[in-house]
Structure 1
Protein backbone atom coordinates (compact mmCIF):
# COMPACT_ATOMS: atom_id res chain seq x y z
CA UNK A 1 0.00 0.00 0.00
CA UNK A 2 1.26 3.45 -0.94
CA UNK A 3 2.00 5.57 2.16
CA UNK A 4 2.12 8.80 0.15
CA UNK A 5 -0.98 10.95 0.14
CA UNK A 6 -1.42 12.37 -3.36
CA UNK A 7 -3.26 15.58 -4.03
CA UNK A 8 -5.27 13.93 -6.82
CA UNK A 9 -6.02 10.50 -8.22
CA UNK A 10 -7.66 10.55 -11.65
CA UNK A 11 -9.68 7.50 -12.69
CA UNK A 12 -9.67 7.12 -16.48
CA UNK A 13 -7.02 7.96 -19.07
CA UNK A 14 -9.26 9.12 -21.89
CA UNK A 15 -8.95 12.61 -23.40
CA UNK A 16 -10.59 14.29 -20.40
CA UNK A 17 -8.53 12.31 -17.89
CA UNK A 18 -5.43 13.39 -19.83
CA UNK A 19 -6.65 17.00 -19.73
CA UNK A 20 -6.97 16.74 -15.93
CA UNK A 21 -3.44 15.33 -15.67
CA UNK A 22 -2.07 18.22 -17.75
CA UNK A 23 -3.78 20.71 -15.42
CA UNK A 24 -2.22 18.94 -12.43
CA UNK A 25 1.22 19.27 -14.07
CA UNK A 26 0.70 22.98 -14.74
CA UNK A 27 -0.33 23.62 -11.13
CA UNK A 28 2.40 21.49 -9.50
CA UNK A 29 -0.25 19.24 -7.99
CA UNK A 30 0.81 15.68 -7.15
CA UNK A 31 -1.34 13.18 -9.04
CA UNK A 32 -1.64 9.75 -10.60
CA UNK A 33 -3.94 8.54 -13.37
CA UNK A 34 -5.29 4.98 -13.15
CA UNK A 35 -6.66 3.36 -16.32
CA UNK A 36 -8.10 -0.16 -16.50
CA UNK A 37 -7.14 -0.65 -20.17
CA UNK A 38 -5.01 0.91 -22.85
CA UNK A 39 -4.35 4.63 -23.08
CA UNK A 40 -7.55 6.30 -24.34
CA UNK A 41 -9.13 2.87 -24.07
CA UNK A 42 -12.52 3.86 -25.49
CA UNK A 43 -10.94 5.48 -28.56
CA UNK A 44 -8.78 2.39 -29.03
CA UNK A 45 -11.92 0.25 -29.12
CA UNK A 46 -13.68 2.43 -31.69
CA UNK A 47 -14.10 0.99 -35.22
CA UNK A 48 -10.84 1.06 -37.17
CA UNK A 49 -12.18 3.46 -39.82
CA UNK A 50 -14.16 5.74 -37.53
CA UNK A 51 -14.05 9.50 -38.23
CA UNK A 52 -14.99 12.14 -35.68
CA UNK A 53 -17.88 14.53 -36.13
CA UNK A 54 -15.69 17.38 -34.83
CA UNK A 55 -12.74 18.99 -36.57
CA UNK A 56 -9.31 18.50 -35.02
CA UNK A 57 -9.07 21.89 -33.28
CA UNK A 58 -12.22 21.07 -31.29
CA UNK A 59 -10.57 17.91 -29.96
CA UNK A 60 -7.44 19.70 -28.77
CA UNK A 61 -6.46 19.60 -25.11
CA UNK A 62 -4.87 22.58 -23.34
CA UNK A 63 -4.53 24.45 -26.68
CA UNK A 64 -1.87 21.97 -27.84
CA UNK A 65 -2.32 21.78 -31.65
CA UNK A 66 -3.92 18.65 -33.11
CA UNK A 67 -2.60 18.42 -36.66
CA UNK A 68 -4.60 16.14 -38.95
CA UNK A 69 -4.40 15.65 -42.71
CA UNK A 70 -8.13 14.93 -42.75
CA UNK A 71 -10.89 17.52 -42.44
CA UNK A 72 -12.47 15.18 -39.90
CA UNK A 73 -9.76 13.37 -37.92
CA UNK A 74 -10.06 9.61 -37.66
CA UNK A 75 -9.40 7.11 -34.88
CA UNK A 76 -5.70 6.74 -35.67
CA UNK A 77 -5.19 10.52 -35.78
CA UNK A 78 -6.71 10.82 -32.31
CA UNK A 79 -4.75 7.93 -30.84
CA UNK A 80 -1.51 9.48 -32.09
CA UNK A 81 -2.41 12.95 -30.80
CA UNK A 82 -3.40 11.89 -27.28
CA UNK A 83 -0.48 9.47 -27.00
CA UNK A 84 1.96 12.25 -27.90
CA UNK A 85 0.34 14.50 -25.29
CA UNK A 86 1.05 11.88 -22.66
CA UNK A 87 4.59 10.97 -23.72
CA UNK A 88 5.75 14.54 -24.45
CA UNK A 89 4.53 15.78 -21.09
CA UNK A 90 5.60 12.62 -19.23
CA UNK A 91 2.22 12.31 -17.57
CA UNK A 92 1.98 9.92 -14.64
CA UNK A 93 -0.38 7.19 -15.82
CA UNK A 94 -0.70 3.56 -14.75
CA UNK A 95 -2.31 1.52 -17.52
CA UNK A 96 -4.07 -1.83 -17.14
CA UNK A 97 -4.77 -1.10 -13.49
CA UNK A 98 -8.50 -1.22 -12.81
CA UNK A 99 -9.87 0.75 -9.87
CA UNK A 100 -12.12 -1.45 -7.76
CA UNK A 101 -13.30 1.04 -5.15
CA UNK A 102 -13.01 4.62 -3.93
CA UNK A 103 -13.82 5.20 -0.27
CA UNK A 104 -13.54 8.38 1.76
CA UNK A 105 -12.12 7.88 5.24
CA UNK A 106 -12.41 11.17 7.14
CA UNK A 107 -10.64 13.68 4.86
CA UNK A 108 -8.68 11.21 2.69
CA UNK A 109 -9.78 8.88 -0.09
CA UNK A 110 -8.63 5.28 -0.23
CA UNK A 111 -8.44 4.14 -3.85
CA UNK A 112 -8.11 0.38 -4.24
CA UNK A 113 -7.04 -1.04 -7.60
CA UNK A 114 -6.51 -4.65 -8.66
CA UNK A 115 -2.85 -4.44 -7.67
CA UNK A 116 -2.32 -1.53 -5.28
CA UNK A 117 -3.96 0.95 -2.90
CA UNK A 118 -3.50 4.73 -2.95
CA UNK A 119 -4.40 7.67 -0.75
CA UNK A 120 -5.46 11.06 -2.10
CA UNK A 121 -7.16 14.16 -0.80
CA UNK A 122 -9.09 14.53 -4.07
CA UNK A 123 -10.36 12.12 -6.73
CA UNK A 124 -11.47 12.89 -10.30
CA UNK A 125 -13.73 10.39 -12.07
CA UNK A 126 -13.31 10.59 -15.87
CA UNK A 127 -14.37 7.09 -16.86
CA UNK A 128 -16.61 7.81 -19.85
CA UNK A 129 -19.44 5.47 -20.82
CA UNK A 130 -18.22 3.02 -23.49
CA UNK A 131 -17.67 -0.04 -21.29
CA UNK A 132 -21.23 -1.16 -20.53
CA UNK A 133 -23.55 -1.84 -23.50
CA UNK A 134 -27.28 -1.20 -23.28
CA UNK A 135 -28.61 -4.74 -23.56
CA UNK A 136 -31.61 -5.88 -25.59
CA UNK A 137 -32.58 -8.28 -22.77
CA UNK A 138 -33.99 -10.90 -25.13
CA UNK A 139 -33.49 -14.65 -25.57
CA UNK A 140 -30.33 -15.49 -27.49
CA UNK A 141 -28.47 -12.25 -26.76
CA UNK A 142 -25.62 -14.24 -25.23
CA UNK A 143 -25.01 -16.35 -28.33
CA UNK A 144 -21.45 -16.12 -29.73
CA UNK A 145 -22.72 -14.56 -32.95
CA UNK A 146 -23.99 -11.48 -31.08
CA UNK A 147 -21.74 -8.50 -30.39
CA UNK A 148 -22.37 -5.07 -28.88
CA UNK A 149 -19.18 -3.66 -30.41
CA UNK A 150 -18.04 -3.27 -34.00
CA UNK A 151 -14.39 -3.11 -35.07
CA UNK A 152 -14.18 -3.73 -38.82
CA UNK A 153 -16.21 -5.08 -41.75
CA UNK A 154 -14.03 -7.90 -43.10
CA UNK A 155 -15.28 -10.73 -40.82
CA UNK A 156 -18.85 -10.04 -41.99
CA UNK A 157 -18.17 -10.22 -45.74
CA UNK A 158 -20.59 -12.58 -47.57
CA UNK A 159 -22.60 -13.05 -44.37
CA UNK A 160 -26.17 -12.21 -43.38
CA UNK A 161 -25.80 -9.42 -40.84
CA UNK A 162 -28.40 -7.75 -38.66
CA UNK A 163 -27.48 -4.34 -37.27
CA UNK A 164 -29.70 -3.20 -34.41
CA UNK A 165 -29.83 0.57 -33.95
CA UNK A 166 -29.81 3.77 -35.99
CA UNK A 167 -27.11 5.90 -34.38
CA UNK A 168 -23.68 6.78 -35.77
CA UNK A 169 -22.12 3.47 -34.74
CA UNK A 170 -24.93 1.40 -36.26
CA UNK A 171 -25.01 3.40 -39.49
CA UNK A 172 -21.22 3.29 -39.94
CA UNK A 173 -21.21 -0.47 -39.40
CA UNK A 174 -24.10 -1.07 -41.80
CA UNK A 175 -22.48 0.94 -44.58
CA UNK A 176 -19.00 -0.53 -44.14
CA UNK A 177 -20.25 -4.11 -44.03
CA UNK A 178 -22.46 -3.61 -47.09
CA UNK A 179 -19.50 -2.18 -49.00
CA UNK A 180 -17.42 -5.24 -48.04
CA UNK A 181 -20.01 -7.64 -49.45
CA UNK A 182 -22.18 -8.35 -46.42
CA UNK A 183 -25.96 -8.63 -46.71
CA UNK A 184 -27.15 -6.07 -44.17
CA UNK A 185 -30.53 -5.71 -42.49
CA UNK A 186 -31.09 -2.85 -40.02
CA UNK A 187 -33.61 -3.08 -37.18
CA UNK A 188 -34.61 0.40 -36.03
CA UNK A 189 -36.86 1.03 -33.05
CA UNK A 190 -37.90 4.47 -34.30
CA UNK A 191 -39.48 5.67 -37.53
CA UNK A 192 -36.26 6.85 -39.17
CA UNK A 193 -32.47 6.99 -39.01
CA UNK A 194 -31.28 8.96 -35.97
CA UNK A 195 -31.20 12.74 -36.26
CA UNK A 196 -27.73 12.93 -34.68
CA UNK A 197 -26.11 10.75 -37.37
CA UNK A 198 -23.18 12.59 -39.00
CA UNK A 199 -24.56 14.94 -41.64
CA UNK A 200 -22.31 13.61 -44.41
CA UNK A 201 -23.27 10.00 -43.66
CA UNK A 202 -27.04 10.32 -43.15
CA UNK A 203 -27.90 10.80 -46.87
CA UNK A 204 -25.69 7.83 -47.73
CA UNK A 205 -27.52 5.37 -45.47
CA UNK A 206 -30.93 6.75 -46.41
CA UNK A 207 -30.16 6.32 -50.10
CA UNK A 208 -28.86 2.77 -49.61
CA UNK A 209 -32.09 1.90 -47.81
CA UNK A 210 -34.21 3.62 -50.44
CA UNK A 211 -32.58 1.72 -53.31
CA UNK A 212 -32.84 -1.58 -51.43
CA UNK A 213 -29.10 -2.22 -51.04
CA UNK A 214 -29.61 -2.29 -47.26
CA UNK A 215 -32.89 -3.60 -45.90
CA UNK A 216 -34.35 -1.68 -42.97
CA UNK A 217 -37.29 -2.39 -40.67
CA UNK A 218 -38.51 0.74 -38.88
CA UNK A 219 -40.66 0.84 -35.75
CA UNK A 220 -39.35 -2.68 -35.17
CA UNK A 221 -37.63 -4.61 -32.40
CA UNK A 222 -35.74 -7.87 -32.13
CA UNK A 223 -37.64 -10.34 -29.93
CA UNK A 224 -35.46 -13.47 -30.19
CA UNK A 225 -32.04 -14.45 -31.55
CA UNK A 226 -31.46 -18.05 -32.63
CA UNK A 227 -28.49 -19.91 -34.14
CA UNK A 228 -29.44 -19.24 -37.77
CA UNK A 229 -32.40 -16.86 -37.51
CA UNK A 230 -33.57 -13.70 -35.82
CA UNK A 231 -37.19 -12.98 -34.93
CA UNK A 232 -38.34 -9.38 -35.09
CA UNK A 233 -41.61 -7.64 -34.34
CA UNK A 234 -42.78 -5.09 -36.91
CA UNK A 235 -45.98 -3.06 -37.33
CA UNK A 236 -47.03 -5.69 -39.88
CA UNK A 237 -46.38 -8.58 -37.48
CA UNK A 238 -43.62 -11.07 -36.78
CA UNK A 239 -40.78 -11.47 -39.29
CA UNK A 240 -38.14 -14.22 -39.26
CA UNK A 241 -34.79 -13.39 -40.91
CA UNK A 242 -31.99 -15.77 -41.85
CA UNK A 243 -28.91 -14.60 -39.98
CA UNK A 244 -25.22 -15.30 -39.37
CA UNK A 245 -24.26 -12.41 -37.05
CA UNK A 246 -26.01 -9.73 -34.99
CA UNK A 247 -24.44 -6.36 -34.15
CA UNK A 248 -26.55 -4.87 -31.35
CA UNK A 249 -25.25 -1.30 -31.51
CA UNK A 250 -27.87 0.22 -29.26
CA UNK A 251 -25.59 2.44 -27.19
CA UNK A 252 -23.66 2.33 -23.94
CA UNK A 253 -23.96 3.70 -20.43
CA UNK A 254 -21.69 4.84 -17.61
CA UNK A 255 -20.93 2.54 -14.69
CA UNK A 256 -23.62 3.89 -12.38
CA UNK A 257 -22.97 1.21 -9.77
CA UNK A 258 -19.41 2.48 -9.38
CA UNK A 259 -20.67 6.03 -8.82
CA UNK A 260 -23.30 4.94 -6.30
CA UNK A 261 -20.73 2.90 -4.36
CA UNK A 262 -18.67 6.08 -3.93
CA UNK A 263 -21.66 7.88 -2.43
CA UNK A 264 -22.56 9.99 -5.47
CA UNK A 265 -26.26 10.81 -5.73
CA UNK A 266 -27.99 10.18 -9.08
CA UNK A 267 -31.24 11.64 -10.35
CA UNK A 268 -34.10 9.14 -10.69
CA UNK A 269 -35.15 10.27 -14.16
CA UNK A 270 -31.90 10.05 -16.15
CA UNK A 271 -29.25 9.03 -13.61
CA UNK A 272 -27.44 12.38 -13.82
CA UNK A 273 -24.96 12.61 -10.92
CA UNK A 274 -25.15 15.49 -8.48
CA UNK A 275 -22.33 18.00 -9.00
CA UNK A 276 -21.52 21.70 -8.89
CA UNK A 277 -21.53 23.22 -12.39
CA UNK A 278 -18.82 25.71 -11.46
CA UNK A 279 -16.34 23.36 -9.77
CA UNK A 280 -17.51 19.91 -11.02
CA UNK A 281 -17.37 18.70 -7.41
CA UNK A 282 -19.95 16.03 -6.61
CA UNK A 283 -22.06 15.81 -3.47
CA UNK A 284 -19.06 13.99 -1.93
CA UNK A 285 -16.55 16.67 -0.94
CA UNK A 286 -13.27 16.23 -2.81
CA UNK A 287 -14.77 13.86 -5.39
CA UNK A 288 -15.03 15.45 -8.84
CA UNK A 289 -16.65 14.40 -12.12
CA UNK A 290 -15.32 15.15 -15.61
CA UNK A 291 -16.49 14.42 -19.13
CA UNK A 292 -19.39 12.36 -20.38
CA UNK A 293 -19.92 10.75 -16.96
CA UNK A 294 -21.71 13.98 -16.00
CA UNK A 295 -24.59 13.28 -18.39
CA UNK A 296 -26.04 10.14 -16.83
CA UNK A 297 -28.02 8.23 -19.44
CA UNK A 298 -27.91 11.28 -21.73
CA UNK A 299 -24.52 10.29 -23.09
CA UNK A 300 -24.86 12.52 -26.16
CA UNK A 301 -24.76 15.75 -24.13
CA UNK A 302 -21.10 15.69 -23.09
CA UNK A 303 -18.19 14.87 -25.36
CA UNK A 304 -14.55 15.93 -25.82
CA UNK A 305 -15.39 19.23 -27.49
CA UNK A 306 -17.58 20.67 -24.72
CA UNK A 307 -16.13 18.93 -21.64
CA UNK A 308 -12.45 19.85 -22.07
CA UNK A 309 -13.15 22.81 -19.80
CA UNK A 310 -13.98 20.46 -16.90
CA UNK A 311 -10.29 19.87 -16.20
CA UNK A 312 -9.55 23.54 -15.64
CA UNK A 313 -12.67 24.04 -13.51
CA UNK A 314 -11.71 21.14 -11.28
CA UNK A 315 -8.06 22.10 -10.80
CA UNK A 316 -8.98 25.73 -10.14
CA UNK A 317 -11.09 24.52 -7.23
CA UNK A 318 -8.56 21.98 -5.96
CA UNK A 319 -5.69 24.50 -5.99
CA UNK A 320 -7.75 26.90 -3.89
CA UNK A 321 -8.12 24.20 -1.24
CA UNK A 322 -4.51 23.01 -1.11
Structure 2
Protein backbone atom coordinates (compact mmCIF):
# COMPACT_ATOMS: atom_id res chain seq x y z
CA UNK A 1 0.00 0.00 0.00
CA UNK A 2 1.14 3.52 -0.74
CA UNK A 3 -0.24 7.06 -0.71
CA UNK A 4 0.78 10.70 -1.14
CA UNK A 5 -0.30 13.19 1.53
CA UNK A 6 -0.16 16.97 1.26
CA UNK A 7 1.47 18.77 4.22
CA UNK A 8 0.57 22.49 4.02
CA UNK A 9 2.45 25.25 5.82
CA UNK A 10 0.79 27.48 8.40
CA UNK A 11 1.08 31.21 9.00
CA UNK A 12 0.27 33.22 12.12
CA UNK A 13 -2.20 36.04 11.52
CA UNK A 14 -1.69 37.02 15.14
CA UNK A 15 0.80 35.78 17.72
CA UNK A 16 0.62 36.88 21.35
CA UNK A 17 2.76 35.67 24.26
CA UNK A 18 0.48 35.90 27.30
CA UNK A 19 2.71 34.85 30.19
CA UNK A 20 5.68 32.77 31.24
CA UNK A 21 4.68 29.53 32.96
CA UNK A 22 6.19 27.91 36.02
CA UNK A 23 7.54 25.08 33.81
CA UNK A 24 9.62 27.58 31.79
CA UNK A 25 7.37 27.52 28.74
CA UNK A 26 5.08 30.37 27.67
CA UNK A 27 1.33 30.54 27.22
CA UNK A 28 0.40 31.94 23.83
CA UNK A 29 -2.73 33.07 22.03
CA UNK A 30 -2.56 33.12 18.26
CA UNK A 31 -4.67 32.83 15.14
CA UNK A 32 -3.21 30.32 12.67
CA UNK A 33 -4.31 29.32 9.19
CA UNK A 34 -3.02 27.05 6.41
CA UNK A 35 -1.65 28.13 3.04
CA UNK A 36 -1.10 26.35 -0.26
CA UNK A 37 2.65 26.02 0.17
CA UNK A 38 3.06 22.35 0.93
CA UNK A 39 5.43 19.42 1.20
CA UNK A 40 4.36 16.15 -0.43
CA UNK A 41 4.76 13.07 1.76
CA UNK A 42 5.04 9.75 -0.13
CA UNK A 43 4.30 6.76 2.13
CA UNK A 44 4.85 3.12 1.20
CA UNK A 45 4.33 0.22 3.58
CA UNK A 46 7.18 -2.24 4.20
CA UNK A 47 6.90 -5.80 5.44
CA UNK A 48 10.09 -5.33 7.45
CA UNK A 49 9.82 -3.55 10.82
CA UNK A 50 11.73 -0.36 9.96
CA UNK A 51 11.23 3.32 9.15
CA UNK A 52 13.14 4.69 6.17
CA UNK A 53 13.28 8.46 5.55
CA UNK A 54 14.35 10.05 2.26
CA UNK A 55 14.25 13.84 1.83
CA UNK A 56 14.82 16.02 -1.24
CA UNK A 57 16.76 18.62 0.77
CA UNK A 58 20.12 17.39 2.08
CA UNK A 59 20.13 19.54 5.23
CA UNK A 60 16.88 17.99 6.53
CA UNK A 61 17.60 15.06 8.89
CA UNK A 62 16.73 11.58 7.61
CA UNK A 63 16.84 9.82 10.99
CA UNK A 64 14.98 9.91 14.32
CA UNK A 65 15.55 13.69 14.54
CA UNK A 66 13.05 14.14 11.71
CA UNK A 67 9.52 14.79 13.05
CA UNK A 68 8.04 12.60 10.30
CA UNK A 69 10.15 9.69 11.59
CA UNK A 70 9.00 10.42 15.14
CA UNK A 71 5.35 10.39 14.01
CA UNK A 72 5.67 6.96 12.38
CA UNK A 73 7.64 5.57 15.34
CA UNK A 74 5.10 6.86 17.86
CA UNK A 75 2.17 5.41 15.91
CA UNK A 76 3.88 2.02 15.63
CA UNK A 77 4.78 2.04 19.32
CA UNK A 78 1.33 3.16 20.49
CA UNK A 79 -0.56 0.54 18.46
CA UNK A 80 2.00 -2.27 18.46
CA UNK A 81 2.42 -2.25 14.66
CA UNK A 82 5.25 -4.48 13.45
CA UNK A 83 5.31 -3.53 9.76
CA UNK A 84 7.41 -0.63 8.51
CA UNK A 85 7.14 2.34 6.21
CA UNK A 86 9.22 4.18 3.64
CA UNK A 87 8.73 7.95 3.86
CA UNK A 88 9.84 10.21 1.01
CA UNK A 89 9.50 13.95 1.74
CA UNK A 90 9.31 16.22 -1.29
CA UNK A 91 10.31 19.37 0.59
CA UNK A 92 8.79 22.64 -0.67
CA UNK A 93 8.29 24.52 2.61
CA UNK A 94 11.49 26.34 3.62
CA UNK A 95 13.22 24.90 6.69
CA UNK A 96 13.37 26.75 10.05
CA UNK A 97 11.12 29.43 8.64
CA UNK A 98 8.30 29.88 11.18
CA UNK A 99 5.91 27.97 8.89
CA UNK A 100 5.64 24.66 10.83
CA UNK A 101 7.04 22.61 7.95
CA UNK A 102 8.38 19.81 10.16
CA UNK A 103 5.19 19.70 12.24
CA UNK A 104 3.05 19.54 9.11
CA UNK A 105 5.16 16.65 7.77
CA UNK A 106 4.62 14.76 11.04
CA UNK A 107 0.88 15.43 10.90
CA UNK A 108 0.71 14.24 7.28
CA UNK A 109 2.50 11.00 8.23
CA UNK A 110 -0.05 10.40 11.01
CA UNK A 111 -2.99 10.99 8.65
CA UNK A 112 -1.46 8.96 5.83
CA UNK A 113 -0.48 5.94 7.94
CA UNK A 114 -3.90 5.98 9.59
CA UNK A 115 -5.30 5.56 6.09
CA UNK A 116 -3.00 2.95 4.52
CA UNK A 117 -2.66 0.91 7.72
CA UNK A 118 -6.46 1.13 8.15
CA UNK A 119 -6.15 2.10 11.82
CA UNK A 120 -9.51 3.85 12.05
CA UNK A 121 -8.25 6.61 14.35
CA UNK A 122 -10.11 9.94 14.48
CA UNK A 123 -8.39 13.27 13.86
CA UNK A 124 -8.80 13.95 17.59
CA UNK A 125 -6.89 10.76 18.41
CA UNK A 126 -4.18 11.56 15.85
CA UNK A 127 -3.86 15.10 17.28
CA UNK A 128 -3.42 13.68 20.78
CA UNK A 129 -0.59 11.47 19.52
CA UNK A 130 0.91 14.39 17.58
CA UNK A 131 1.08 16.56 20.69
CA UNK A 132 3.84 14.29 22.00
CA UNK A 133 5.95 15.38 19.00
CA UNK A 134 5.37 19.14 19.18
CA UNK A 135 2.79 21.78 20.08
CA UNK A 136 2.14 22.74 16.41
CA UNK A 137 1.44 19.16 15.31
CA UNK A 138 -2.19 18.97 16.54
CA UNK A 139 -3.14 22.06 14.51
CA UNK A 140 -1.40 20.58 11.46
CA UNK A 141 -3.34 17.32 11.90
CA UNK A 142 -6.62 19.23 11.56
CA UNK A 143 -5.55 22.06 9.23
CA UNK A 144 -7.89 24.99 8.72
CA UNK A 145 -8.03 28.14 10.83
CA UNK A 146 -7.94 28.22 14.61
CA UNK A 147 -7.23 30.21 17.73
CA UNK A 148 -4.44 28.36 19.54
CA UNK A 149 -3.88 28.80 23.26
CA UNK A 150 -1.78 27.18 26.00
CA UNK A 151 1.50 26.15 24.36
CA UNK A 152 -0.40 26.17 21.05
CA UNK A 153 -2.16 22.84 21.56
CA UNK A 154 -5.56 24.14 22.80
CA UNK A 155 -7.47 24.80 19.60
CA UNK A 156 -10.69 26.65 18.86
CA UNK A 157 -11.59 26.38 15.17
CA UNK A 158 -13.09 29.36 13.35
CA UNK A 159 -14.10 30.24 9.80
CA UNK A 160 -11.53 30.50 7.01
CA UNK A 161 -10.27 34.04 6.33
CA UNK A 162 -11.33 35.80 3.10
CA UNK A 163 -9.59 34.31 0.02
CA UNK A 164 -6.39 36.10 -0.95
CA UNK A 165 -2.84 35.82 -2.18
CA UNK A 166 -0.05 35.19 0.33
CA UNK A 167 3.41 36.44 -0.66
CA UNK A 168 6.16 35.02 1.55
CA UNK A 169 9.84 35.92 1.74
CA UNK A 170 12.47 34.11 3.81
CA UNK A 171 16.01 35.46 4.22
CA UNK A 172 18.88 32.92 4.29
CA UNK A 173 19.12 32.83 8.09
CA UNK A 174 17.76 30.70 10.92
CA UNK A 175 16.07 32.04 14.03
CA UNK A 176 16.24 30.36 17.44
CA UNK A 177 12.66 30.22 18.73
CA UNK A 178 13.97 29.43 22.21
CA UNK A 179 16.15 32.56 22.21
CA UNK A 180 13.27 34.75 21.00
CA UNK A 181 11.07 33.50 23.86
CA UNK A 182 13.89 34.12 26.34
CA UNK A 183 14.20 37.74 25.21
CA UNK A 184 10.50 38.64 25.18
CA UNK A 185 9.39 40.93 28.00
CA UNK A 186 5.73 39.93 28.26
CA UNK A 187 4.74 42.93 30.40
CA UNK A 188 6.23 45.44 27.95
CA UNK A 189 4.99 44.25 24.54
CA UNK A 190 2.06 45.66 22.58
CA UNK A 191 -0.31 42.69 22.63
CA UNK A 192 -2.29 41.79 19.48
CA UNK A 193 -6.08 42.23 19.44
CA UNK A 194 -6.95 38.57 18.89
CA UNK A 195 -10.69 39.20 19.32
CA UNK A 196 -10.64 41.88 16.59
CA UNK A 197 -8.85 39.48 14.20
CA UNK A 198 -11.44 36.78 14.88
CA UNK A 199 -14.26 39.29 14.32
CA UNK A 200 -12.66 40.39 11.03
CA UNK A 201 -12.42 36.78 9.85
CA UNK A 202 -15.94 35.85 10.91
CA UNK A 203 -17.35 38.95 9.14
CA UNK A 204 -15.24 38.22 6.03
CA UNK A 205 -13.66 41.68 6.23
CA UNK A 206 -10.33 41.49 4.39
CA UNK A 207 -9.27 45.08 5.21
CA UNK A 208 -9.76 44.45 8.93
CA UNK A 209 -7.84 41.15 8.70
CA UNK A 210 -4.90 43.08 7.21
CA UNK A 211 -5.05 45.89 9.76
CA UNK A 212 -5.07 43.44 12.69
CA UNK A 213 -2.05 41.35 11.63
CA UNK A 214 0.29 41.36 14.63
CA UNK A 215 3.16 39.36 16.14
CA UNK A 216 4.80 40.20 19.49
CA UNK A 217 7.94 38.33 18.43
CA UNK A 218 8.70 40.76 15.61
CA UNK A 219 10.67 43.35 17.59
CA UNK A 220 12.83 40.69 19.25
CA UNK A 221 13.61 38.96 15.95
CA UNK A 222 14.16 42.31 14.17
CA UNK A 223 16.74 43.28 16.80
CA UNK A 224 18.51 39.93 16.45
CA UNK A 225 18.28 39.87 12.65
CA UNK A 226 17.82 43.32 11.01
CA UNK A 227 17.50 41.63 7.59
CA UNK A 228 14.03 40.41 8.58
CA UNK A 229 12.83 43.97 9.24
CA UNK A 230 14.25 45.07 5.89
CA UNK A 231 12.01 42.52 4.17
CA UNK A 232 8.93 43.83 5.96
CA UNK A 233 9.87 47.42 5.06
CA UNK A 234 10.33 46.46 1.42
CA UNK A 235 6.92 44.76 1.32
CA UNK A 236 5.36 47.98 2.62
CA UNK A 237 7.20 49.99 -0.05
CA UNK A 238 5.58 47.83 -2.73
CA UNK A 239 2.08 48.54 -1.43
CA UNK A 240 1.35 45.52 0.75
CA UNK A 241 -2.16 45.64 2.25
CA UNK A 242 -1.03 43.78 5.35
CA UNK A 243 2.39 42.43 6.36
CA UNK A 244 3.65 40.52 9.40
CA UNK A 245 6.29 37.97 10.40
CA UNK A 246 5.16 34.36 10.86
CA UNK A 247 6.05 32.54 14.09
CA UNK A 248 9.48 33.47 15.43
CA UNK A 249 10.56 34.17 11.84
CA UNK A 250 12.43 34.74 9.76
CA UNK A 251 9.67 34.44 7.11
CA UNK A 252 7.61 37.59 6.53
CA UNK A 253 4.37 37.48 4.52
CA UNK A 254 1.98 39.91 2.86
CA UNK A 255 -1.70 39.47 2.02
CA UNK A 256 -3.48 40.91 -1.00
CA UNK A 257 -6.60 40.19 -3.03
CA UNK A 258 -5.23 42.05 -6.05
CA UNK A 259 -3.56 39.89 -8.72
CA UNK A 260 -1.32 42.64 -10.11
CA UNK A 261 -0.25 43.73 -6.61
CA UNK A 262 0.67 40.14 -5.77
CA UNK A 263 2.81 39.99 -8.91
CA UNK A 264 4.42 43.36 -8.09
CA UNK A 265 5.24 42.24 -4.55
CA UNK A 266 6.73 38.97 -5.80
CA UNK A 267 8.87 40.69 -8.46
CA UNK A 268 9.96 43.42 -6.04
CA UNK A 269 11.15 40.86 -3.51
CA UNK A 270 12.70 38.34 -5.90
CA UNK A 271 15.80 40.45 -6.52
CA UNK A 272 16.06 41.25 -2.81
CA UNK A 273 15.81 37.77 -1.26
CA UNK A 274 16.17 34.32 -2.85
CA UNK A 275 13.26 32.44 -1.29
CA UNK A 276 10.00 34.13 -2.36
CA UNK A 277 6.65 32.38 -2.82
CA UNK A 278 3.20 33.45 -4.01
CA UNK A 279 0.45 31.04 -2.91
CA UNK A 280 -3.22 31.05 -2.00
CA UNK A 281 -4.71 30.96 1.45
CA UNK A 282 -6.31 27.58 2.27
CA UNK A 283 -7.92 27.96 5.67
CA UNK A 284 -10.09 24.82 5.39
CA UNK A 285 -9.81 21.79 7.68
CA UNK A 286 -8.63 18.38 6.47
CA UNK A 287 -11.30 15.80 5.90
Q: Above 0.5 in TM-score? A: no
- Tell me the TM-score range normalised by the shorter chain: under 0.3
- Structure number with the bigger relative contact order (C-alpha 8 A, sep ≥ 6) is 2
Higher helix share: 2
TM-score normalised according to structure 2 size = 0.25
TM-score normalised according to structure 1 size = 0.23
